[in-house]
């Protein structure tokens, strides 16, 4: 079940959300209800975008990707959470934990990068409306979405590979309700400085850079809207003088 320095770890024990039976029932119903709403809402949105040719534009293409990401992200962890409410001993195999961690990390990283791409799309649409169809052609926005997926998956491969190589000691209790990477790293009985450095670089790529892009885009958008309002006011004043 566990491993020391000479034996293989085969499973982790998840703490879960609550050990109280009645609370577990309440949490199970709430989480299941929210999960079904997420599947239904995103499923309807994806279906409408795919079926309606008028929505085959960069903005809705990104929204379709974002909805699919939300479905994948929640599906990578919610079933595990629901299962933990139905079992007394909340365990998950080592390989299952690594797969769940890989999927959730990949979907989360991809979503962050994709949000940055969506901010760029709106910036071009509002600030350069006449050139928008040329700049955001299919040859541009499809590679942007693919790049988001590739970045997230690659980042997750790196982080998961580094985690798998770590030796784990006798403690296999994860202080979380899913296999969250930081909670897993705390159980390693060796130096994790490489993992920490790698995570810092990962955060810079998939969190800091998209956040900077979103912030700059919205700053320029607000400035553009302010300049437009000022121009309209001046035109009205000129008309009144005439």
Task: Quote the pLDDT of residue 4.
Answer: 40
The pLDDT tens digits of the residues spanning 50-93 come to 999 899 999 999 999 999 999 999 998 898 888 878 777 778 88
Q: Are strands 173-174 and 91-93 parallel, antiparallel or unpaired?
A: unpaired
How far apart are the C-alpha atoms of 2 and 157, rounded to whole Å? 25
Query: What pLDDT score does 215 carry?
Result: 92
The whole-number pLDDT of residue 19 equals 61
Kindly state whether residue 235 falls inside one of the protein's structural domains: no
Q: Tell me the average pLDDT of the chain.
A: 85
Which is nearest to 5 in space by CA: 190, 179, 181? 190
For 132-168, the pLDDT digits (tens) are: 999 999 999 999 999 999 999 999 999 999 999 888 8
Q: Is residue 123 in a domain? A: yes
Whether residue 1 lies inside any domain: the answer is no
Nearest of 203, 181, 201 to residue 100 by alpha carbon: 181
Give the pLDDT score at 117. Answer: 95
CATH number at residue 118: 1.20.1070.10
CB of 38 closer than 8 Å to CB of 117: no
Distance in angstroms (rounded) separating the CA atoms of residues 31 and 81: 8
CA 24 to chain centre: 26
Higher pLDDT, 229 or 221: 221
Domain that holds residue 67: 11-223
The DSSP-derived string for the chain is ----TTS---EEEE--S---HHHHHHHHHHHHHHHHHHHHHHHHHHHHHHH-GGG-SHHHHHHHHHHHHHHHHHHTTHHHHHHHHH-SS-EEEHHHHHHHHHHHHHHHHHHHHHHHHHHHHHHHHHHSTTTHHHHT-HHHHHHHHHHHHHHHHHHHHHHHHHHHTS-B-S--EESSSS--HHHHHTTBSS--HHHHHHHHHHHIIIIIHHHHHHHHHHHHHHHHHHHHHHHHHHHHHHHHH-
Q: What is the pLDDT of residue 5?
A: 40
Inside any domain, residue 236: no
2 has pLDDT over 80: no
- Return the structure tokens found at 127: 């600030």
CB-based contact 143:174 (threshold 8 Å): no
Tell me how many domains the chain contains: 1
What pLDDT is attached to residue 231?
56
pLDDT at residue 230 tops 90: no
Q: How far apart are CA 171 and CA 47, in angstroms?
A: 46
Domain assignment of residue 199, yes or no: yes
């Amino acid at each position: 079940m566990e491993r020391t320095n000479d034996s293989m770890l085969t499973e982790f024990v998840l703490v879960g959300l609550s050990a109280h039976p009645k609370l577990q029932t309440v949490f199970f119903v709430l989480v299941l209800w929210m999960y079904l709403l997420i599947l239904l809402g995103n499923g309807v949105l994806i279906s409408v975008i795919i079926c309606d040719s008028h929505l085959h534009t960069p903005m809705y293409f990104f929204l379709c990707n974002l909805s699919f990401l939300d479905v994948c992200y929640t599906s990578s962890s919610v079933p595990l959470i629901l299962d933990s409410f139905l079992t007394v001993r909340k365990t998950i195999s080592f390989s299952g934990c690594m797969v769940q961690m890989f999927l959730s990390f990949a979907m989360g990283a991809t979503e962050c990068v994709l949000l940055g791409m969506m901010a760029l799309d709106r910036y071009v649409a509002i600030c350069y409306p006449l050139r928008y169809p040329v700049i955001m052609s299919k040859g541009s926005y499809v590679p942007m979405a693919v790049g988001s997926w590739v970045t997230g998956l690659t980042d997750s491969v790196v982080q998961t590979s580094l985690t798998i190589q770590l030796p784990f000691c006798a403690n296999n209790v994860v202080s979380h309700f899913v296999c969250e990477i930081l909670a897993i790293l705390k159980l390693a009985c060796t130096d994790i400085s490489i993992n920490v450095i790698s995570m810092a670089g990962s955060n810079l790529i998939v969190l800091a850079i998209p956040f900077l892009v979103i912030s700059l885009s919205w700053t320029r958008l607000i400035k553009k809207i302010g300049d437009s309002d000022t121009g309209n006011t001046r035109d009205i004043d000129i008309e009144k003088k005439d």
